[in-house]
Structure 1
Amino acid sequence: MNDPRQARPTLLYVDDEEMACKYFARAVGNEYEVLLAGSAEEAISILRGKGSRIAILVTDFRMPGRDGGDLLRQVALESPQIVRILVTAYADKDMLLQTVNTGEVFRILEKPLELGQVRETLRLAAERYRERTVRHQRLVAIDETLAFLAHELNTPLAAIANFARGIESRIAAEYNPQRQSEIGQAATSMHDNAQYCLAVISSFLQSVRSNGSRASPQNNTSREVTAGTLVAALLDTYPFAGQQREWVQVEVHGDFAVHTLPNCVALVLSSLLSNALRALDGVGSPSLRFVVADEPDAAIRICDNGPGIPPEVMGRLLVDPVTTHAGTGGNGLGMIFCNRVMQSFGGGIRIESTSGVGTTVTLDFPNTKSRMHRSNR
């Protein structure tokens, strides 16, 4: 894979006219490493040998044998990371519409080529390639993280579910009816929660992978996912216990689109909600607020009036596996995971906590305060 920061992106120019190839190479050779092909077949051969280096494909449409449109379709399937540009001297409206609408081309250049337009189009194409490459690297990083979590959690969760069923089947002969009921309810709860976690892990991992594999510029026309929508969906599906849902309020002071990996953000929100609810257990008048705001920067805040986080834990919370809830199953890995997810697409987490007053966790989104902050008031 090309380094997205490379000084001279590699470009493949395809045209059956030798003079056109030479002219193009001379015109942009100072800014790009230019590879030349005289046909679609030769271009495919070069792509198979050097495809990992190539950032941009520029091809003429009318060529003997396979035309440029056919070449673009194959490259779109086999090397979707390459930014594709079509050159044509023919006003073939149907062909142009089909090529654009199927997402096979980034831009269309008309012959005779105007050098200024060519350079601007190539600049935009190189920028698009860098964006695609960075996004792919982030998807790989988050996929590896999720795969690791799935591997680490699936086995113990399955074991818990099996143990719970075993407990249910054995208690009848060993305890009085009241004790049987208590243990049976606990075993059922263990089993149901383990099964719920297994289902969440499986469906979420599949969703992220599927969305990542389908990602392409034409998908940007789909309905935007907003921060407010993510919060609302979380509260609709989260398995609240008892009166917990009544503790939660939502304030939207300005909604905003979550452009990158909304499924990952949803998982972060779910983890933070779980932490906040655990902190509120035993609080006299529990209160938990989700605040969505787009000013001064896009952010989601989760505010609770729990006991707060001890200073000795605050200093290590985002970097070490520390927890204040070890007795109820906490292991301190949740905040580290949330930290990595937010950082993977340029966001950040800030945590503020006051002993005896409560805690506020703020998710900052890309193009805002992307640095990680921790402060104790």
Structure 2
Amino acid sequence: MSDTIQPPFSILFVDDDQMSRHHFARAVSDDYRVHLAQGADEAMVLLKELGPEIAVLVTDFRMPGRDGGHLLREVAQAYPQIVRILVTAYADKDMLLQTFNTGDLFRIIEKPLRMDSVREVLKQAVARYAERETRQQRLLAMDETLAFLAHELNTPLAAISLFARSVENDVAQEYDPQRQREIGAAATSMLNNAQYCLTLISSFWATVHKSGGQQPASGSGVREVRAARLLATLLDSYPFAGLQREWIDVDVHGDFVVHAMPNCVALVLSSLMSNALRALDGCPAPSLCIEVISEPEPEIRLRDNGPGIAPEVKARLLLDPVTTHAGQGGHGMGMIFCNRIMQSFGGGLRIESTLGEGTTVTMRFPGSRGRIRDADGEQASVTRTV
């Protein structure tokens, strides 16, 4: 038995000949999990049960009932992510051409099967499937990020609208000194919120434009983005109001490479920092400590000494749209979007808070083994939620 770690997906082999099925399974089962079906109908039943697990479909063409060409077309329609391979012993050029054009085939393999060639084709097919899966994850992450960006812009823009309407209503009145100070504060708030929106748009656009909208492939020549550098860049560009920058301390216990899309991570970090600074407004000695930690798993923690979050609110923050800033345009979706974006990378958020003492929000990144630890320190499988 091989010690090779099998990938988390399987091969479905369809052939009405029992000997062929047995021969195929015995030849490749050391490298892949193999499921077998003796016809198109049985294959579709298996796919309904195992669809997300199946990476490659290998099917014979000549079978009783529905042939392999019919199965390939049905799978292409219902499970387009599956890489499809046709096996045939017949040199029917018209049949092969029609099947290739309508079934979106990856390869055609001739019988009798030469297992060395089959293994090489399967290796290429699995690589194609992994590439498609990675691309899909990036698209899902981008969708979440765009929704999150819309939320982040909506909140300050709503505040700008609120303050602008107040100024508009009072513009014709005569102001006493107190009212003049209130209008000045409103104007400052509008400016700060507008600068925050512009910073987000500029940062996001610059990153996406530079990368062509795609995550660079791994390999030589790709510049690594480290967590401490990403944080420093954000602190340099963030539109702090008043003395807010002086509230922040940075503590790097161990740096790590951010393998997720750095612009998306920066948006999450920016949103969490904005929440913390807003919570600290009015505190007698505001403090926000941002920690970069590499062991036992990579994390970025934001720890403030603000008023804290009520337990009933904290329990819902990552599940339901709850907010304590409705008067400033908030609608409670920010933490949900942040968590979903981190989950799309294989990580997540953890929130700890005590009323009157402060709040700690932890951005959890997958470790080198693609796993994160649960609250008790045990390793838990990564869940990608979108």
Q: TM-score, normalised by structure 2?
A: 0.61
**Offset of 1:339 from its aligned partner?**
0.7
For 2:187, the aligned partner's letter is T
In structure 2, the CA distance between the partners of 1:361 and 1:369, relative to structure 1 (3 Å rule), is farther
Q: Secondary structure at the match of 1:272?
A: helix
**Offset of 1:241 from its aligned partner?**
1.7
The residue correspondences of 1:20-31 to structure 2 (distance < 5 A) are none
For 1:309, the aligned partner's letter is I
The residue correspondences of 1:61-210 to structure 2 (distance < 5 A) are 122=121, 124-149=123-148, 173-176=172-175, 178=177, 181-182=180-181, 185-200=184-199, 202-203=201-202, 206=205, 210=209
**Offset of 1:202 from its aligned partner?**
3.7
Q: Tell me the equivalent position of 2:230.
A: 230
**Offset of 1:275 from its aligned partner?**
1.4
1:155 and 1:193 map into 2 onto residues whose CA distance is 14
**Offset of 1:169 from its aligned partner?**
7.5
For 1:8, the aligned partner's letter is V
Q: Secondary structure at the match of 1:362?
A: strand
**Offset of 1:364 from its aligned partner?**
1.2
1:268 and 1:291 map into 2 onto residues whose CA distance is 15
Q: Tell me the equivalent position of 2:321.
A: 321
2:138 and 2:160 map into 1 onto residues whose CA distance is 31
1:223 and 1:34 map into 2 onto residues whose CA distance is 40
Q: Tell me the equivalent position of 1:33.
A: 85
1:366 and 1:354 map into 2 onto residues whose CA distance is 27
Task: Give a deviation string over 1:151-190, Cα, whole Å, max 9, x none.
Answer: 6676786676578668768866432484685365345335
In structure 2, the CA distance between the partners of 1:256 and 1:120, relative to structure 1 (3 Å rule), is farther
For 2:301, the aligned partner's letter is R
Q: Tell me the equivalent position of 1:365.
A: 365
Q: Tell me the equivalent position of 2:354.
A: 354
Task: Give a deviation string over 1:70-92, Cα, whole Å, max 9, x none.
Answer: xxxxxxxxxxxxxxxxxxxxxxx
Q: Secondary structure at the match of 1:245?
A: helix
Q: Tell me the equivalent position of 1:23.
A: none
Larger displacement relative to structure 2 (313-322 or 169-178): 169-178
Q: Secondary structure at the match of 1:221?
A: coil
Larger displacement relative to structure 2 (201-210 or 253-262): 201-210
Contact 1:348 / 1:365 at 8 angstroms: preserved in 2? yes
Contact 2:224 / 2:258 at 8 angstroms: preserved in 1? yes
Q: Tell me the equivalent position of 2:274.
A: 274
Aligned-residue sequence identity (percent) comes to: 40
Contact 2:148 / 2:334 at 8 angstroms: preserved in 1? no
2:97 and 2:263 map into 1 onto residues whose CA distance is 36
Larger displacement relative to structure 2 (221-230 or 203-212): 203-212
Q: Secondary structure at the match of 2:56?
A: coil
Q: Tell me the equivalent position of 1:259.
A: 259
2:337 and 2:126 map into 1 onto residues whose CA distance is 30
The residue correspondences of 1:291-306 to structure 2 (distance < 5 A) are 291-306=291-306
In structure 2, the CA distance between the partners of 1:232 and 1:332, relative to structure 1 (3 Å rule), is same
Contact 2:156 / 2:193 at 8 angstroms: preserved in 1? yes
Runs of 5+ consecutive residues of structure 2 not aligned to the other structure? 1-46, 60-82, 377-386
Contact 2:148 / 2:337 at 8 angstroms: preserved in 1? no
Q: Secondary structure at the match of 2:302?
A: strand
Runs of 5+ consecutive residues of structure 1 not aligned to the other structure? 12-30, 59-113
Q: TM-score, normalised by structure 1?
A: 0.62
For 1:195, the aligned partner's letter is A
In structure 2, the CA distance between the partners of 1:175 and 1:48, relative to structure 1 (3 Å rule), is farther
2:143 and 2:153 map into 1 onto residues whose CA distance is 15
Larger displacement relative to structure 2 (324-333 or 277-286): 324-333
For 1:315, the aligned partner's letter is A
Are positions 1:6 and 2:54 aligned together?
yes
Q: Secondary structure at the match of 2:234?
A: helix
Contact 1:349 / 1:372 at 8 angstroms: preserved in 2? no
RMSD of aligned Cα (Å): 4.2
Higher relative contact order (CA 8 A, sep 6+): 2
In the comparison of the two structures, how many residue pairs are matched? 292
Task: Give a deviation string over 1:293-349, Cα, whole Å, max 9, x none.
Answer: 111111111111222211111211110112234444443221111111111111011
Q: Secondary structure at the match of 1:268?
A: helix
For 2:331, the aligned partner's letter is N
Task: Give a deviation string over 1:164-220, Cα, whole Å, max 9, x none.
Answer: 668768866432484685365345335434533443454455456553744353666
For 1:128, the aligned partner's letter is A
